[in-house]
Chain A
Amino acid sequence: MDRFRMIFQYFQSNSESVMNGICGLLALASVKMYTCFDFSCPCLPQYNMAYGLGIMFVPPIALFLCGLILNRQSLVMLEEWRRPQGRRKKDLAVIRYMCSSIMQRAMVAPVVWIIVTLLDGKCLICAFSGSVDPKKFVGFANASPVQVQQLLAKVPCKDDELIRNNTSRKAVSRYLRCWSQALGWSILLILIVAAFLIRWLRPCFNQATLLQARHWSNYIDIEQKIFEETCCEHSRLFAHKCILHFFESMRQEIKLHSCSLPREGEGTEGEEDLLWGITDQDQVNKLLKMWYYEKPPLDVSQVTQR
């Protein structure tokens, strides 16, 4: 039991750090995914906006769901939420606490993706190059509206022959990137300030409730782990008894069949007989066949009552 106690103390102190670790790994994975991803804007009038905004918002949703899936506590919370009341009351404050801590951790990777996207700028340039006001830029002055739209759509693609030599391509690109980076940094600042305020001001409100909620959410987590461990231990012992019972019943059957030959070694009955009275190829084959064709019933009450 000492070993179990050590392991569970480890789990208790590190359940939070395991989850923080997963959260950090997911954030790093999101940055890595963005850098590996080969962003190629279609440079077509109708497709640009869909592609740009799609790349900005669809991966964060997938990352958020991944964050929820990989977090073990979300399952624990759901089980606690849906369990029948029985003899233990349900405390909604605990469930709310668990839910908010899960959501906070799951939101980190999507936010990292969005900020990296904005700071890089390619998505916004692709999405909004067609919405820029052409009058601000000299290079589009002499073109018809349809042509202007086409040219603007091609701004993200530097090597396209239509836009390669246009003097305003870089200007549009810089303009959009400036907006994108400004947006990115503003969002980052707002989030950090919000996180700071929440963490700093939280002790001023309901600290006692918070401590209780945190304690009981830890408790529920550990209780579930211990239950699983105990079930494993129990199933191992159950299997052990079941197999012993099976071999014992084989030995009894063999004794019944061969009762004509008196056994000389009376002393051997006192020792642990590893052979279980099975001393013949046929008997072994019969035992194995019985094991396959008729597994013993899942009932070790006779063995435990001895």
Chain B
Amino acid sequence: MDKFRMIFQFLQSNQESFMNGICGIMALASAQMYSAFDFNCPCLPHYNLAYGLGILLVPPFILFLLGFVLNNNISMLAEEWRRPQGQRGKDPAVLRYMFCSMAQRAMIAPAVWVSVTLLDGKCITCAFCTSVPVETLGNASHPGLSQGEMKRVLARIPCKEIYDGQEFIANEVAVRYLRCISQALGWCFVLLMTTLAFLVRSLRPCFTQAAFLKSRYWSHYIDIERKLFDETCAEHARSFAKVCIQQFFEGMSTDLAAARCHPPRKAPADAGEAAEKLLGITDQGTMNVALKSWHRCKPPLHLHPPALPSSNGWAGEKQPPTHPPAPRREMAAYYSRV
């Protein structure tokens, strides 16, 4: 248990830093993804807005969901939420704490994507180039063009090679204007996010510190309890499997000996451990029958009470007197069909 205790202490004290690490990696990954992404504005009147806003808003949503998926604690939250009350009350404050801490971490990568997108400026330039105020920035003195035509011309602003509206409004002027607006929005967004984070972090000790300590303790407890239960079940499964298999081999060799109509050979006293471990199966034919039987009909998940773990697994000498013979016979009948 010492080893497990050390590991659990490490995991517990570092669970937060582990989650913070994943969160930081996702933020860096989102910035890298944006720079690797090849942004291609369609430069068509109705498609620009859809493309620009889509690139601005859809990846953050995906990153947010990914943040939840990568968080190990989401299944713990779901389990605790859905479990029947039973003998243990449910505390909604604990559930809220768990959800809030996961949501906060999941929000970082999307916020980084939106900030980087706005500060770069290409999305907003693409999305809103048809709304540039031509009257103030350029020469609006060309009445020959209809609204639709004007929009078509303005939609080509992000694509410098095909832009043909230099006489209405210079390309650089429009791009600079749009990029300035985009960067202003970006910095305002960054300021807003950091202010929110600061308020959330600093208002907590002022108002709900006691409730926070309680929720944090019990959410850690639920996590540790789940891990310990899984570990105990694994230990139990191991012992169960060991005894089940031992009983299978014992049953096999006893039945085969009975079928051959001579008593099970007593291992000589000085044969040592190796003979014991052979479990009475000492020739190729018997072993093949044992293997086939294991494959064709595995033993039931039911351990015989007398054969609980003791130091000598081989109950060759003593026949347990109280053991009802009926199950044995069943097994014998089963195996003889093999």
A interface residues (Cβ-Cβ under 8 A, vs B): 37-38, 40-44, 47, 50-51, 54-55, 58-59, 61-62, 65-66, 68-69, 74-75, 78-79, 81-83, 157, 159-161, 229, 231-233, 235-236, 238-240, 242-243, 247, 261-265, 267-268, 271, 273-276, 278-281, 284, 288, 291-298
Contacts and interface: CB of A to CB of B under 8 A. Distances in A.
B205 A296 contact: no
B206 A58 contact: no
A297 B232 contact: no
A219 B239 CA distance: 48
Contact of A292 (B83, B180, B233): B83
Given A82-B205, A264-B322, A297-B87, A43 B173 contact: yes
Interface in B212-248: 217, 220-221, 224-225, 228-229, 232-233, 235-236, 238-240, 243
Contact of B202 (A74, A159, A271, A298): A74
B198 A69 contact: yes
B301 interface: yes
Contacts of B309: 268, 271, 273-275
Given A42-B176, A58-B187, A83-B209, A274 B9 contact: no
Given A229-B13, A235-B224, A236-B224, 15 more contacts: A38-B119, A43-B173, A43-B176, A51-B184, A58-B187, A65-B194, A82-B206, A83-B209, A236-B12, A239-B224, A267-B310, A280-B302, A296-B87, A297-B87, A297-B88
Query: Is chain B's binding surface mostly helix, strand, loop or mixed?
Result: helix
Interface in B294-311: 300-306, 308-310
Nearest to B226: A239
Interface string B308-325: 111000000000101000
B87 A281 contact: no
B13 A232 contact: yes
B185 to A, nearest CB: 11
B187 to A, nearest CB: 5
B45 to A, nearest CB: 24
A274 B305 contact: no
Contacts of B306: 263-265
Task: Give the 4 A-B residue pairs with the shortest CB-CB distance, closest first.
Answer: A294-B86, A281-B301, A279-B303, A42-B180
A1 to B, nearest CB: 12
A160 B197 CA distance: 41
A295 B308 contact: no
A78 B197 CA distance: 15
Contact of A51 (B180, B190, B243): B180
A280 B301 contact: yes
A161 B303 CA distance: 92
B303 A276 contact: no
Contacts of B217: 231, 235
Contacts of A263: 305-306
Nearest to B177: A42
B137 A44 contact: yes
A274 B205 contact: no
Interface string B141-184: 00000000000000000000000000000101100110110011
13 contacts: A38-B120, A40-B183, A43-B173, A55-B187, A62-B191, A69-B201, A160-B170, A236-B228, A238-B221, A275-B308, A278-B240, A284-B301, A294-B86
